[in-house]
A and B are shown apart, each in its own frame.
Chain A
Amino acid sequence: MDLTQLTIDSARSSIQNRKTTALALAEAHYAHIQKEDEQIGAYLTLCKERALELADRIDRMAAEGKPLPPLAGVPVGIKDVMSTSGVRTTAGSKMLDNYIPPYDCTAVARMEAAGALVLGKTNCDEFAMGSSNENSAFRPVRNPRDLTRVPGGSSGGSAAAVAADMAVVALGSDTGGSIRQPASFCGVVGLMPTYGRVSRYGLIAFASSLDHIGPLAKTVKDAAIVLRTIAGRDPMDSTSATLPVPDYPSELEKDVRGLRIGVAKEYFGDGLDDEVRHAVESAIDKLKTLGCEVTPVSLPHTPYAIPTYYLIATAEASSNLARYDGVRYGYRAADVKSLSEMYRRSRDEGFGAEVKRRIMLGTYALSAGYYDAYYLKAQKVRTLLTRDFEEAFRKVDAIVTPTSPTAAFRLGEKSNDPLAMYLADIYTVTADLAGIPGISIPCGVTKNKLPIGLQILGKHFDEATILRLANAYEQAA
């Protein structure tokens, strides 16, 4: 049995049946990380003591013959934007190089309560701002499928860790595509739940009306198990929904015959790579043979999604990142003579170029004289984009698109052109703006063997349907 090749269920049952131990699982993953991660760079911080302590607790339960919790002994990676009590949490930024949170993110606490072993914190673009992981202040992540290419971003470390068997599953965060796009580039499953489905408590804020936590996994079923674990009302996040949480893994068993799938021409226009188009069209044909009805739908405001996103996300970021002032935590510049100089230089030296660019754009969009023209305008277009989906979902149960217009690009290919980088999120930002759930699953490879992602978007709080479709496709493919 190769201990780095297990799924959540096979890991848990192997421990329960005493075929292996949680300790052995953790050690096997740490050994693999030791061997592989120098070239990939998926992890920023490992927390072996914490993982082994929990592993020991699981093993004692197994030895006593007690039933194990659903994620017992499952090694996981946590994107370094989620707070972990006593474990360094950097958000990929020099600003938080030495930050040790005094409390746990709710999603992380729920994973551990279900028995998961947190191996460490995964690399990401600074404050989750980026589409290639090149904006990490520490080091870029390399795509395990091709080391000359980016893993996508901003949850590139989480996607790479799962793709390279350095974790069974990982948590990521998605504000404009940051779970789904790296999942697509690395050939794994990435699920962004509905806004409000998973508590954001303890997630280092980027854009609060757009931030989501969700899983990256090797199988759709594992993503479903993680979602069931982390979803549900949390009194610490007033935007977390009170709706009941379905038993997602058993929802996967339901038939997909008769489900109505929408295909929007706006997601198949200029800029879509031919190989990606072909793979996604084949996947749609596959869904047809599984008994789904395919219907054209229209999402006419899609071309306006990127500009809308970059105004709203940067405006919220400029406000959220105002807290980094060098006083209570985080980086402080040396040899400062006044308070004002301390703020200005600490922020200048602590933040990287992309973060400063977004703070500037967001501050500009909110400033007197520009608020109506930019920020308010973007909020109105957000209404139009959301209405597009409401309209479409009257006719269909899910919408299928490419996750990204291309497969993984090369390191350095877009790093000097912010706008070109922003356009990498063209098919993913719409779901964040509308608050609907989306999943990316592998649907083939290019002739260079680079993974291609299929995106399935669903109605608000209807993760069950997109997981069911994703699972049916995965099983058939």
Chain B
Amino acid sequence: MKVTEKDVNYVADLANLELSGDERVAMVRDLNSILDYIDRLNELDTSNIEPMAQVSDRYGVDESKHGSERFAYANREDVPEGLRKSLTQDAALANAPDADGTFFRVPKVIER
């Protein structure tokens, strides 16, 4: 077994997930089953292979250009007002579970 209950507790902390006792047990089982399958990647020697984070740096760009020039399309003028108008305060707060008209309201952050 790769993933222990201790690992699940640690990762749940990183991911800010509460997870009940039952959920933690199921998670140990499911993650181990998936990771066992994922292990087949180790059959491949990838020591001289470059990682690929995304596809838009390889295709749809001007291949005659190099480095950051290739991504010139992704740059734009800095427009002070932005490409679209900022949300009004009302619109920004409209979906908040708790707000006071000016700020989002959350439980106390610092205990004294």
Expressed in whole angstroms, the Cα–Cα distance for A59 and B84 within the complex equals 30
Cβ of B79 to closest chain A Cβ, rounded Å: 10
Expressed in whole angstroms, the Cα–Cα distance for A208 and B43 within the complex equals 27
- CB neighbours (8 Å) of A435 from chain B are 55-56, 58-59
Counting chain A CB atoms within 10 Å of each CB, which of B15, B20, B23, B107 scores highest? B15
Expressed in whole angstroms, the Cα–Cα distance for A344 and B17 within the complex equals 5
Expressed in whole angstroms, the Cα–Cα distance for A345 and B20 within the complex equals 10
Interface string of B78-112 (1 = CB under 8 A from A): 00000110010001101111100000101111010
Counting chain A CB atoms within 10 Å of each CB, which of B3, B50, B58, B97 scores highest? B97
Docked-complex contact B76 and A235, CB < 8 angstroms: yes
Docked-complex contact B23 and A356, CB < 8 angstroms: yes
Expressed in whole angstroms, the Cα–Cα distance for A308 and B53 within the complex equals 12
Within 8 A of B (CB), among A316-357: 318, 322, 325-332, 336-345, 347-349, 351, 353, 356-357
Identify the stretch in A17-25, A176-184, A379-387 within 8 Å (CB) of chain B at 4 or more residues. Answer: A379-387
Expressed in whole angstroms, the Cα–Cα distance for A330 and B104 within the complex equals 13
Which one of A102, A209, A235, A301 contacts B83 once the chains associate, using CB atoms below 8 Å? A235
Question: Does B40 have its Cβ within 8 Å of any Cβ on chain A?
Answer: yes
Expressed in whole angstroms, the Cα–Cα distance for A380 and B45 within the complex equals 10
Question: Does B51 have its Cβ within 8 Å of any Cβ on chain A?
Answer: yes
- CB neighbours (8 Å) of B31 from chain A are 357, 360-361, 364
Expressed in whole angstroms, the Cα–Cα distance for A460 and B60 within the complex equals 8
Interface string of A266-308 (1 = CB under 8 A from B): 0000000000000000000000000000000000010110111
Question: Does B46 have its Cβ within 8 Å of any Cβ on chain A?
Answer: yes
Docked-complex contact B11 and A242, CB < 8 angstroms: no
Docked-complex contact B53 and A379, CB < 8 angstroms: yes
Within 8 A of B (CB), among A348-381: 348-349, 351, 353, 356-357, 359-361, 363-364, 367, 374, 376-381
Expressed in whole angstroms, the Cα–Cα distance for A73 and B42 within the complex equals 53
Question: Does A1 have its Cβ within 8 Å of any Cβ on chain B?
Answer: no
Docked-complex contact A196 and B95, CB < 8 angstroms: no
Query: Which residue in chain A gives the minimum CB-CB distance to B49?
Result: A380
Which one of B51, B73, B106 contacts A382 once the chains associate, using CB atoms below 8 Å? B51
Which secondary structure characterizes the binding site on chain A? Answer: helix
Expressed in whole angstroms, the Cα–Cα distance for A242 and B52 within the complex equals 21
Docked-complex contact B41 and A307, CB < 8 angstroms: yes
- CB neighbours (8 Å) of B25 from chain A are none
- CB neighbours (8 Å) of A303 from chain B are 40
Expressed in whole angstroms, the Cα–Cα distance for A278 and B97 within the complex equals 54
Within 8 A of B (CB), among A194-233: 194-196, 208-209, 233
Which one of B35, B94, B97 contacts A326 once the chains associate, using CB atoms below 8 Å? B97
Docked-complex contact B44 and A304, CB < 8 angstroms: yes
What count of chain A residues pass the 8 Å CB interface test? 77
Which one of B15, B19, B40, B83 contacts A363 once the chains associate, using CB atoms below 8 Å? B15
Expressed in whole angstroms, the Cα–Cα distance for A376 and B52 within the complex equals 9
Interface string of B6-44 (1 = CB under 8 A from A): 011011101111111001001100110111011111111
Given contacts A357-B27, A418-B34, A383 and B107 within 8 Å (CB-CB):
no
Expressed in whole angstroms, the Cα–Cα distance for A308 and B59 within the complex equals 20
Docked-complex contact A386 and B52, CB < 8 angstroms: yes
Counting chain B CB atoms within 10 Å of each CB, which of A235, A331, A339, A363 scores highest? A363
Docked-complex contact A304 and B40, CB < 8 angstroms: yes
Query: Which residue in chain B gives the minimum CB-CB distance to A301?
Result: B44
Query: Which residue in chain A gives the minimum CB-CB distance to B71?
Result: A238
Within 8 A of B (CB), among A101-117: 102-103
Question: Does A473 have its Cβ within 8 Å of any Cβ on chain B?
Answer: no
Expressed in whole angstroms, the Cα–Cα distance for A37 and B11 within the complex equals 40
Docked-complex contact A357 and B18, CB < 8 angstroms: no
Question: Does A40 have its Cβ within 8 Å of any Cβ on chain B?
Answer: no
Counting chain B CB atoms within 10 Å of each CB, which of A378, A379, A380, A384 scores highest? A380
Q: Which 7 A-B pairs have the closest CB atoms?
A: A435-B55, A379-B51, A329-B95, A241-B60, A348-B18, A332-B97, A380-B46
What are 13 of the A-B contact pairs (CB < 8 Å)?
A194-B59, A209-B54, A241-B59, A307-B39, A344-B16, A351-B17, A356-B27, A359-B17, A360-B12, A361-B31, A364-B7, A380-B50, A383-B50
